[in-house]
Amino acid sequence: MLEESLKGLNIRDGGVYVDATLGGGGHAAAILEKLKHGKLIAFDQDKDAIQNLEKNTKLNVIHANFRYMREQLNANGITEVDGILADLGISSHQIDTPERGFSTRFDAPLDMRMNSEITRTAADIVNTYSAARLQKMFSVYGEITNAGKLASTIEKYRGAKHIRTTGDLIEAIKSCTPEPGGHKYLAKVFQSLRIELNEELDALKDLLRQSDQVLKKGGRLVVISYHSLEDRIVKDYMRTGNFEGIPEKNIYGHDIRPFEPIVKKPLVPTEEEINENSRARSAKLRIAEKI
């Protein structure tokens, strides 16, 4: 959804923009093409990602989680920006690199760290969390209906064998995995672990709060999400300025909120784009303007 993202940012030459998720560098490269005199600040916590773009005088790449956006911008002498783009979720590079442990397609270490400098891995979670804590994680982050059975099955399996790899985990939970539909089920299990390990939803909330603080009036916030948990957080904040989705009003009955949604419903990929990139199928793009 490259063109939709760029249009949503409403890029003005000479402006300062943030790419909160550098990833493969596609969005960043497209933004730079439209900036003759502006500046792009790109964030990524993955060291592999920060090597994806050639050096450019208009580009400043910061190796950090986007939840530290405001702090890092201030450290670079930037107090306000004209637009922020966040393409959430996991990058194609991370999925396709077996040793990162994000994919069910490879038998690899159960890692899932987006930032390789943190010490805890997904394997630590499945081997140390109590069954109750695992159940809550799978229920909330994966919306898995048999989360209780799944958690107790993992607890029983790890009592006999340490779960070290993606293959170990898939083997451990095969009695919980439905047929057909096993692939989608495993994707939810892996999603739950990834979100928990990398604190993805908390980081997203931090980014949204800081977007309110650093965007200029009339600046644009563009967010692409890939599952309902992310999209609900983005939707509620853009509409109400909070994560409960409950509008706050002043004494005159007017809504108190930092953003005005530009699109009432999220934009979704075309069939053509989905055919070219099946991973785009679940993408939802929302755009809001700072009031």
User: What are the residue ranges spanned by the domains of the chain?
Assistant: 2-92+200-290, 97-198
Least confident of 6-10, 181-185, 247-251: 247-251
CB-based contact 9:32 (threshold 8 Å): no
pTM of the predicted model as reported, rounded to 2 decimal places: 0.92
pLDDT at 55 over 80: no
CATH number of 2-92+200-290: 3.40.50.150
- Which residue shows structure tokens 């509008």? 247
Mean pLDDT of 61-90: 95
- Crossing angle of helices 182-198 and 200-214, in 10° steps, is 60
Contacts of 181 by beta carbon, 8 Å cutoff, 6+ apart: none
Least confident of 115-119, 129-133, 205-209: 115-119
pLDDT at 52: 58
pLDDT at 53 over 70: no
CB-based contact 173:150 (threshold 8 Å): yes
pLDDT at 46: 87
Domain 97-198: homologous superfamily in CATH: Putative methyltransferase TM0872, insert domain (1.10.150.170)
Residues 197, 198, 200, 203, Cα dihedral to 10°: 130
pLDDT at 185: 96
pLDDT at 90: 82
